[in-house]
Amino acid sequence: MVIKNRFERVSEVQPDAITLSLSRSGDGEVGTVVFPASASGGRISEDKISAELPAVDSFRAAVKLANEMKVAIVVMDPDNVWKDSWGELFTPIDD
């Protein structure tokens, strides 16, 4: 049995996580990676936002950064760009 990685779908950048922002544009499916200074544990002093990349490349960059910095990833995906092969994208249910 293969266990998929799980990623939380959010509607805005989160201050305590890397946010992968996916969208469709004239260039196709693209993404940016947002790493807030507030999630860095003091390692960076200002928010970092990547250039727009093809969606799969931005996903890989977010995972690499999250692994290096030991920070969670959340996903903004209003255009439903997410690929099932990347893992499970879930929306939390507020109690």
For 71-93, the pLDDT digits (tens) are 999 999 999 999 999 999 999 88
| H/E run at residue 58 | helix 55-69
pLDDT score at 93: 81
Tokens 């807030």 belong to: 36
Is a pLDDT exceeding 70 seen at residue 25?
yes
User: What is the value of pTM for the model shown?
Assistant: 0.92
Between CA 10 and CA 27 the distance in angstroms is 23
Q: Note the Cα 89 to chain centre separation in Å.
A: 11
- Output the pLDDT for position 36: 96
Mean pLDDT taken over the chain = 93
Show Cβ contacts of residue 20 under 8 Å, excluding neighbours closer than 6 positions: 7, 31, 32, 33, 34, 58, 59, 62, 73, 74, 75, 76
- Domain extents in the chain: 6-81
